[in-house]
Amino acid sequence: MNCALALRMLDAYIDDELDGVTAAEIVEHLASCPTCTELHGHRVAMRSALREAPLRQVAPPGLRKSILRGIERQEHPETPSRSLRWWQAIVLGCSTAVLGAMGGWWLAQPRALETLPEFAVARHVASLTPTGPRIDVASSDRHVVRPWFQGRLEFAPMVRDLSAQGFDLMGARLDRVGDRQAVAIVYRLHSHIINVFSWRGPGDYAETEREATIRGFNVVTWSDRDMNFAAVSDTDSAELKRFTVAYRAP
């Protein structure tokens, strides 16, 4: 074997990829050729240098997991990964916080009342205190109650003596229904309180009474020319209706 052939075969010899016969020829040649032996020495030194140095790179931690997640996503594109990525967690956390804050703010707000009867019911409830209904002028005498509002109110409230029908006048107070200034005339039927709210306005209701039940209270509303009325009570609707008829009677 000459040097040219030996040099061509040298790497395969080092890599143990030669058949036995050729390998034996290389060994024979190396024994008689210092040049090829020197190159062989370099190759062997280089090999051990490469194998001893920490050159082999291993997969970074987390890569395997990330690959399996990728496969999972590829296999089930419609089902999102159950574990959240960090940015998804942040986005979710932030939106939850914002929604929570909005919800809290919304709950903390006084409930918006849509209609005037609802306002009337709210004022009725607010007027009921443990010591009896809130009253500015307490009197069963309508001739005492009515003049009290002079100079306090832009209209003259309708105060009627309905004791003959069983409705005792307790008094009256200044109130409001929604953003309207109103007066509340307070009657009593046995243990039930009746508030009759009246406020000025261009006919909010029809002239004929309309009955409703709001938050468990019976409400009857009507309008009379430029005045609006809402009678609110926890008494039953028939009694409230009877009251309304008596109150409106000329």
Partner 1 sequence: MTNRERTARFEEQVLVHLDSAYNLARWITRDTGTARDAVQDGCLRAFRAFDQMQGPNARSWFLAVIRNTCIDLLREQRDRAVEEEYDEDLHGSGVAPEGGGGITPEDIAARASDARWLRGCIDALPREYREVVVLRELEELSYKEISAIVDIPIGTVMSRLARGRDLLQQRMLFAHRQFRR
Q: Does 82 sit near partner 1 (CB under 8 A)?
A: no
Q: Does 80 sit near partner 1 (CB under 8 A)?
A: no
Q: Does 55 sit near partner 1 (CB under 8 A)?
A: yes
154, two tokens: 């832009």
Q: Does 33 sit near partner 1 (CB under 8 A)?
A: no
Which of residues 8 and 225 has its CB atom nearest to partner 1 in the complex?
Answer: 8
Report the candidate in 208, 128, 195 with the shortest Cα–Cα distance to residue 167.
195
Which of residues 17 and 226 has its CB atom nearest to partner 1 in the complex?
Answer: 17
Q: Which stretch binds partner 1 (CB under 8 A): 64-72, 161-169, 185-193, 202-210?
A: 64-72
Q: Does 41 sit near partner 1 (CB under 8 A)?
A: yes
Could you give the CA distance from residue 234 to residue 209 in angstroms, rounded to a whole number? Answer: 17
Are residues 204 and 100 in contact, defined by beta-carbon separation less than 8 angstroms? no
Residue with tokens 């209904």: 133
Q: Which stretch binds partner 1 (CB under 8 A): 53-61, 104-112, 126-134, 185-193?
A: 53-61
Which of residues 74 and 129 has its CB atom nearest to partner 1 in the complex?
Answer: 74
Q: Which stretch binds partner 1 (CB under 8 A): 10-18, 87-95, 125-133, 191-199?
A: 10-18
Residue 235 CB-density burial (10 A; 0-12 exposed, 13-18 middle, 19+ buried) = buried
Minimum distance, C-beta of residue 46 to partner 1, in the bound complex (Å): 6
Q: Which stretch binds partner 1 (CB under 8 A): 3-11, 110-118, 160-168, 182-190?
A: 3-11
Q: Taking the CB of residue 222, how many other CB atoms lie within 10 A of it?
A: 20
The residue within the footprint of partner 1, chosen from 19, 31, 52, 216 (CB under 8 A), is 52
Residue with tokens 């509303």: 221
Which parts of the chain fold into alpha helices (H)?
3-14, 20-32, 34-52, 63-75, 86-108, 116-127, 142-148, 237-248
Q: Does 190 sit near partner 1 (CB under 8 A)?
A: no
Are residues 154 and 183 in contact, defined by beta-carbon separation less than 8 angstroms? no
Q: Which stretch binds partner 1 (CB under 8 A): 54-62, 86-94, 137-145, 149-157?
A: 54-62
The amino acid sitting at 134 is R
Could you give the CA distance from residue 215 to residue 103 in angstroms, rounded to a whole number? Answer: 23
Q: Does 71 sit near partner 1 (CB under 8 A)?
A: yes
Q: Does 23 sit near partner 1 (CB under 8 A)?
A: no
29, two tokens: 């040649």
Site residues for partner 1 per CB under 8 A: 7-8, 10-12, 15, 17, 35, 38-39, 41-60, 63-64, 66-68, 70-72, 74-76
